[in-house]
Amino acid sequence: MVRLAKAGPDYGVGVYRDITEWADSSPGWMQTLGEIGTEGGILLFVALLLFQWWRSRGRDDRSMALALLAPVAVAAVYVLSEILKVWLHEERPCRDIPNVTTIAECPEPGDWSFPSNHSVIAAASAATLLITWRLIGLLALPVAALIALSRVYVGVHYLHDVAAGYLLGVLLAPLVVLALMVPGTWAVTRLRQQKGLALVLGASPQTTTPAPQYAPHSTYR
């Protein structure tokens, strides 16, 4: 097991203290917004992924495959982050650093700190949206960064926890989607032939062939 729990100033304790002290002195409305945003932001990404699936029901097979693969990629990177947490075993700063005041309640012992799962989920969701829904993805990436930083603001993570989680999500989730895109599209094409799955997968747009235009018959004599 790698032990990162006793992180010294070079590992971000000083930055953590600066941020939590600033957070403690910030206005009450800002603290409330930070608490709501740090959890509600994840729900926002869940809603976006669900809406993307719904809108893909009337699109081509590749679009539906990408919409289904996006949450799969997010889940895969999340599992990897959990494995890293158990392996690295970094203690939460709100438990490990004395004399700090945090906005959020410190998680229970055994809920490790590195990397930040919230940052992983937010960044992975934004990165997959960038592939599957470009405009929303461009807007989602900075939102994911704010969610990641909010975890330090409310006092439950070091800055390096959220930075690592963000990079993990942004870099790995798109790779999962792209790696599975071809077999995923093939599977959607086959499954859409099953009538029982029409509500879930929808149907590919039908390509309509224009009716042939006939020139008026000439009268021959």
**DSSP code at position 202:** -
Distance CA 66, CA 177 (A): 7
Question: Which segments within 29-109 are labelled E, that is strand?
Answer: none
Distance CA 118, CA 121 (A): 5
- State which H helix or E strand residue 25 sits in: helix 13-25
Q: What SS3 class is residue 19?
A: helix
Predicted local distance difference test score (pLDDT) of residue 206? 59
Predicted local distance difference test score (pLDDT) of residue 149? 92
Comparing CA positions, the residue from 151, 143, 115 lying closest to residue 127 is: 143
User: Angle at which helices 28-55 and 117-132 pack, to 10 degrees?
Assistant: 40
Tokens 């930083």 -> residue: 149
How many C-beta atoms surround the C-beta of residue 146 within 10 A? 14
User: How far is residue 194 from each of residues 24, 191, 197, measured CA to CA in Å?
Assistant: 56, 5, 6
Q: What SS3 class is residue 214?
A: coil
Q: Amino acid letter at 138?
A: L
Where does residue 160 rank: exposed (0-12), middle (13-18), buried (19+ CB within 10 A)?
buried
The pair of structure tokens assigned to 177 is 């989607």
Distance CA 79, CA 85 (A): 10
Predicted local distance difference test score (pLDDT) of residue 218? 47
Chunked into runs of 10 residues, the chain (221 residues) has average pLDDT values of 45 82 87 86 92 85 89 95 89 85 84 90 93 87 93 90 94 93 87 75 59 49 45
DSSP characters over 171-200: HHHHHHHHHHHHHHHHHHHHHTT-GGGHHH
Predicted local distance difference test score (pLDDT) of residue 216? 52
Contact 133, 23 (CB under 8 A): no
Tokens 């235009």 -> residue: 213
Comparing CA positions, the residue from 163, 41, 31 lying closest to residue 104 is: 31
